[in-house]
Amino acid sequence: MSHAATRSARFAPVAFDTARLGRAALWVVVFLGGFVLNEPAPYELAMVAGLGLWLLSAPRLPVAIAPLIVIVTLFLSGGLIATLMSDDFGEAIMYIAVTGFLAVTALFFAAIVAQAPDRLTTISNAYLASALVVGALGIAGYFGYGHAIFTLYGRAKGTFQDPNVFGPFLVLPWTVLVHTLITRPVLERPFWRQAGRLAALAVLTLAILLSFSRAAWGLAVFSGLGVYLLVFMGTRDARERARLLGFALAGVVAFAALVVVSLSLDSISGMLLQRAKLVQDYDAARLGRFARYVLGFQIVVDHPFGLGPLQFRNFFPEDEHNTYMKAFTTYGWLGGISYLALVIVTFRAFLPVVFQPRPWQWAARCVFVVLVGHMMMSFIIDTDRWRHLYMLYGLAWGLVALEHAVRARAKRPVENRGSTAVSMLAPDARSG
């Protein structure tokens, strides 16, 4: 090579792999979703940077997520109107601004998944890594090997402010692990992969248990059974179904063993028996959770514009602990109806996607059961501004948009006869 060529090669500009850089940035943002000890959390700061870069790239939102955009806009509009009812307008408008930010994150996840489905793997890996770190910190704190900041009222909470958020946060990666274990060969090579998945599942299971969150326990059971049934219904091979039945039996045995071991440990059994009661004292008290539901909905009827953010506590000793009621009290009738529409429309749009044999079906199954579990859980707990719940809605609509795109591409050859039909089909559509 000549001296001139050597010099030009030496000073040639370095080419960056923007796709890899983007995946790394996405991984960091999702990973930070598990660290919410203080607000604004690192997740918010990272997401602000990510959203800024995303918006500067002039993103094209898929038509399929239009219902999400319309419903979220109406929901936030109801909240803005409700701020006029608040006795502290500054606090109220900040509350709605945070909700608006989280709503934008849902649109962000929907758009990036619809644009590139391989990002589902990046999101899943980052979420699992975050859950393992957060779960391990919660376990260590519970047994006295970590900082006391990782527990609250004798319950593990990891790097969250509340055990009732910590536990449900862990359920999506827990469900993905369950799905992976039951759909992969038992003796898959290399063997350390299955062993690693089992170890990760054990960590997350223990962390969910030590959160002593009845909502998280119920969510995990519902999600595990739900994803198992979806896999079983999608299997036609007799030998495969027999294998799945073996997994079910092993799961029952493992669950029974977990209960027996937990009850035999003094450090766990007392809190476990206490939290296992379906109705706690604060649920059935005079102005307890159940009483607030009845009285709260009576207030909703008399206040079509809502009470305003954070105003319910002026009438009762605690917050609503019911997301559907909170939607009406905090965002008015417009916001409450919009939130109900979000739940119903998302369920109806997402359900058919779960049964389509696409390369991303694993994600559709897991996100669906965990999201529906959150929808049900919202009747007894306040999920209004859970970061991971908005991500779940975004992933759901991203998967809906993917299915919409596949079907649209499949119809084009029929509409345009004589064109090169096969070339217009995406590889994912052909394999599905």
Residue 424 pLDDT > 60: no
Mean pLDDT of the 194-207 span: 94
Q: Which of 176-190, 238-252, 413-427 has the lowest mean pLDDT?
A: 413-427
Q: How confident is the model at residue 422 (pLDDT cuts 50, 70, 90)?
A: very low
Among 215, 247, 216, 217, which Cα is nearest to 231's? 247
Euclidean distance between the first and the last CA atom of the chain, given in angstroms as a whole number: 50
- Cα(149)–Cα(145) distance, rounded to whole angstroms? 11
Mean pLDDT of the 298-319 span: 81
Residue 109 φ/ψ, nearest 5 degrees: -65, -40
Peptide bond into 117 cis (omega under 30): no
Mean pLDDT for the chain? 86
- Cα(368)–Cα(231) distance, rounded to whole angstroms? 13
Residue 12 pLDDT > 50: no
pLDDT digits (tens, 9 = 90+) for 223-242: 999 999 999 999 888 888 99
pLDDT for position 413: 64
Q: Which of 32-41, 58-67, 243-252, 419-428 has the lowest mean pLDDT?
A: 419-428
- Cα(104)–Cα(227) distance, rounded to whole angstroms? 28
Question: How many CB atoms neighbour CB 8 within 10 A?
Answer: 11
Q: How confident is the model at residue 356 (pLDDT cuts 50, 70, 90)?
A: very high
Residue with tokens 């390369």: 359
Residue 269 pLDDT > 90: no
C-alpha radius of gyration, the chain, whole number: 24
Residue 290 pLDDT > 90: no
427 Cβ contact list (under 8 Å, min separation 6): none
pLDDT digits (tens, 9 = 90+) for 44-64: 999 999 888 888 877 888 999
pLDDT for position 3: 53
Mean pLDDT of the 415-421 span: 45
pLDDT for position 98: 93
- Cα(25)–Cα(19) distance, rounded to whole angstroms? 10
**Best-predicted range by mean pLDDT among 93-107, 178-192, 283-297?**
93-107
Do residues 179 and 137 lie in contact, with contact meaning Cβ atoms separated by under 8 Å?
Answer: no
pLDDT for position 317: 66
In the chain, the amino acid numbered 63 is V
Residue 428 pLDDT > 80: no
pTM recorded for the entire structure: 0.88
Write the CA distances from 139 to 50, 142, 204, 223, integer angstroms: 31, 5, 9, 22
- Cα(247)–Cα(231) distance, rounded to whole angstroms? 12
386 token code pair: 């859970």
Please indicate whether residue 315 or residue 125 has the higher confidence score (pLDDT): 125
Residue 347 pLDDT > 60: yes
